[in-house]
Amino acid sequence: MPVANILSSREGVYQIEVPCRISLSANWRLMEVRARMRSFFKIGQAVAVGLFFMVAPAVAEDASGTWSYDTIKGIGRFWAQISGESTFSIWCKKTGRGYASIIDVDIKGKSAPSNSSIRLSFDGDDVNIRTDADGNVRMDCHYCADQMTWIWWKFKTARKLRVSFKDGRAETFGLISAKNVMGKDICSNI
């Protein structure tokens, strides 16, 4: 596989095609990007630095979860999964008063402890939320609705979410792609 194909050039402006292997793990992709960056220095240092900053955020986001939206039996779900073991989901069901939302978090293959608290840290701004007997967080009380408004806004503006359970389990989810699936209003998608 060639390192790069120069598609066209005119007056010092180069159009470059860079092949990428998506099936590699994030660490391998980062190493591959670094190796390719070394070869780009032949084209010009400024071009190489610019390409690195365009490619690097996508590699970092993949390592900490890509956000998606889907529906299951008519209930919307915003979610991200890390390495098949940790998942953060916001379930949204349309009601007569708007939406009822539930936050469901699994870390290292186990759901949140029941009747406990979960700490959500958005780039250092923290909020504690309580789980019910099933380990879910129901966001349909008046106070909870205010918390959900703040949490939804943070999903759209923060870069990272650190989730911590009382039993010591914790995980960090990237939020770069969350703003691409979450709409302006709570439970709306783009």
Beta bridge partner(s), residue 81: 87
Q: Which tokens in the block code for residue 118?
A: 């979960």
Residues 33 and 109 in one domain: no
Residues 18 and 90 in one domain: no
Residues 56 and 20 in one domain: yes
DSSP letter for 141, please.
S
Which residue type is seen at 134? D
- CA neighbours closer than 13 Å in the CB half-sphere of residue 16: 19
User: Measured between alpha carbons, how far is 105 from 46 in angstroms, rounded to an integer?
Assistant: 42
The three-class DSSP label of residue 3 is: coil
What is the arithmetic mean of pLDDT over 77-106?
Answer: 91
User: Measured between alpha carbons, how far is 72 from 84 in angstroms, rounded to an integer?
Assistant: 19
Please state the domain count of the chain: 2
Tell whether the model's pLDDT for residue 97 goes beyond 50.
Answer: yes
Residues 82 and 48 in one domain: no
Per-residue pLDDT reduced to its tens digit, 141-183: 888 888 999 999 999 999 999 999 999 999 999 999 999 999 9
What is the arithmetic mean of pLDDT over 58-85?
Answer: 80
Indicate whether 185 belongs to any domain: no
What is the arithmetic mean of pLDDT over 100-117?
Answer: 95
Tell whether the model's pLDDT for residue 48 goes beyond 60.
Answer: no
- Summary mean pLDDT of the chain: 78
**50 — phi, psi (to 5°)?**
-60, -45
Asked whether 117 and 129 are in contact (CB, 8 A), the reply is: yes
Q: Which residues form the domain of 175?
A: 68-180
Residues 87 and 133 in one domain: yes
- pTM over the 0.85 mark: no
Residues 58 and 98 in one domain: no
Tell whether the model's pLDDT for residue 35 goes beyond 80.
Answer: no
Start-to-end CA distance of the chain, whole Å, equals 36
Q: Considering only residues 143 and 49, tell me which one the structure prediction assigns the higher pLDDT.
A: 143
Closest residue by Cα to residue 99 from 149, 171, 26: 149
Tell whether the model's pLDDT for residue 13 goes beyond 60.
Answer: no
Residues 76 and 154 in one domain: yes
Indicate whether 190 belongs to any domain: no
Residues in the chain: 190
Residues 76 and 146 in one domain: yes
